[in-house]
Chains A and B, each alone.
Chain A
Amino acid sequence: DAMVIQNPRYQVTQFGKPVTLSCSQTLNHNVMYWYQQKSSQAPKLLFHYYDKDFNNEADTPDNFQSRRPNTSFCFLDIRSPGLGDAAMYLCATRVGGTQPQHFGDGTRLSIL
């Protein structure tokens, strides 16, 4: 059974129309991450939560926000998507300490 679940697998939105991507986990892990992966590039960290503590990467655009209402769920909000935000968005979790990160299947976002 999938342990890190991302919905939907494919999302299409219009230029400038807010969109929310969701991630849930059954692992009860402390740490949750959001990565952005553009075509033919490596995943790049946007931000992560250690429990409720939010850690934003210095170069993450202000257009990207995140919420973690409880241990199991984490959301990525894109307030005004531009064409350059079309990408695969990957969620990952980790129990903390010296343990591996576990990734969901990703949501592929298209902007019309």
Chain B
Amino acid sequence: GIQVEQSPPDLILQEGANSTLRCNFSDSVNNLQWFHQNPWGQLINLFYIPSGTKQNGRLSATTVATERYSLLYISSSQTTDSGVYFCAVEPFGTDKLIFGTGTRLQVFP
């Protein structure tokens, strides 16, 4: 089955810093989503981005489908950005998401 790897596994930042999270996947996909899981366990949909670039406030994402990777950029990080960031991909011909290994982000004041 498809493999989804995220890097780095852990990231510690001071408030105000910028960061880039990476998601690599081993096969072509129909869909890719980025999620933020907050400390209370809620999984929040950040981007639906099977290809191209999107921006939402301090966050932006780019997926290069032909090269099988996606990047999530966080600028001017805040303590509320802390949590785990997951990318999830949907292989062609399925209706299901396969989650990556996650990046745990801690932002300190």
Contact = CB atoms under 8 A, between A and B. Distances in A.
Contacts, number: 47
A90 B88 CA distance: 14
A88 interface: yes
Contact of A31 (B40, B95, B100): B95
Interface stretch (A12-20, A60-68, A100-108): A100-108
Contacts of A43: 43, 86, 88, 99
A98 interface: yes
Contacts of B33: 100-101
Contacts of B50: 98
Contacts of B96: 33, 45, 48
Interface of A: 31, 33, 37, 42-45, 48, 50, 55, 88, 90, 94, 96, 98-103, 105-106, 108
19 contacts: A37-B41, A42-B101, A43-B99, A45-B97, A48-B95, A50-B95, A55-B95, A98-B31, A99-B48, A100-B31, A100-B45, A102-B45, A103-B35, A103-B42, A103-B44, A103-B45, A105-B40, A106-B41, A108-B41
